[in-house]
Structure 1
Amino acid sequence: MDWYSIVKLLHIVSATLWVGGGFTLMVLATLADRAGNIQGTLQAMRATGELGNRFFAPMSMLTLAFGLTMCGFWVGFSELWVLIGLAGYATTFCIGMFVFKPTADRMAAMIARDGVTPAALAHGQRILRAARFDYAVMLVIIADMVLKPTLHDVAILAAMVLVLAGGAALALGWPRRMVPSAA
């Protein structure tokens, strides 16, 4: 076994934990949201907020660090698939830092201050909408890392653009309006 294989394994494990863990929480929140289960939706949102800095950020940083290590020592930074991966990482990192974190913090503060209100639920809906695009980006990154497209792989690149457009459409779609129950 060589060092490249070890670093690649660590890169894949950290990426799996990061992407898989977040995807699971998004699915739970989406299922609860569609069922009208406000408490379930809020629980998934709280878990996302609590795990953001403790789990998701470290796993994403490890994924980046191991990926950069592979590129720096073995692969290089000039291949299109590496550049797409880095652009995708930067996109999802910015969504996490500038959408998920502040929105979850505002939602938690509103709930602590006023309880579950329509305004607090609107923040939860914003997180779910952003997650749809975020996971479209992550799907593109995963496909990019496996398929390693070049400029000649027009069909793969077009499919990646369609996935991003679909994620954007889902993110920009009209959310269901949830209101707290009177129970």
Structure 2
Amino acid sequence: MEAFLSSTFAVAIAEIGDKTQLLALLLATRFTQRGDRAAIIWGILLATLVNHGVSAWAGQWLRELIPAEWLTLLLAVSFIALGLWLLIPDKDEEVDKGFFKYGAFVASLVLFFLAEVGDKTQVATVVLAARFDNYLAVVMGTTIGMLVANVPVVYAGSWLMQRMPMAIVHKAACALFILLGVFTLVGYYWW
């Protein structure tokens, strides 16, 4: 349960203000027909499951490859580095609007998958899967965390984004990842 809850909470917080959340807002403003919102959410869900499934597999592989004492140190440093990375704002990237002609679902699926490659939440998924020896809990947790952050944007996008204090959210996410790093070190060396 710890792997699932940690993964859900970490990704939900890390995703706030991220480029993929802004992509969800763009998709919601572009596709406004009946059923488009559900299609966007299904696209986000499937893209995240595939992306985070592969990422968690990579994390599990690293867990087996690296000796335990080194893995603990690497994980702690990775959590802290991720926390600090969250303080750096994402750069606006041009969205390939050519995918829009294929409809809400395909555009969301492809664009979300591509936007997640190398993103903070993908890296967090690798680190979480290396930290917790529970592949399914990490994938389900990070995917639900992604949905927790993006579904409200699809439905209440611009209204919600205008009322969220992004600087505070990013600092809270930074603190969360730094705490995960500290707890990883303390947990290994203390117990």
Query: Aligning the two structures, in what range does the TM-score lie when normalised by the shorter sequence?
Result: 0.3 to 0.5
TM-score by length of 2: 0.34
TM-score by length of 1: 0.35
Greater RCO between the two (CA within 8 Å, min separation 6)?
A: 2
For the pair shown, which has the larger CA radius of gyration, 1 or 2?
Answer: 1
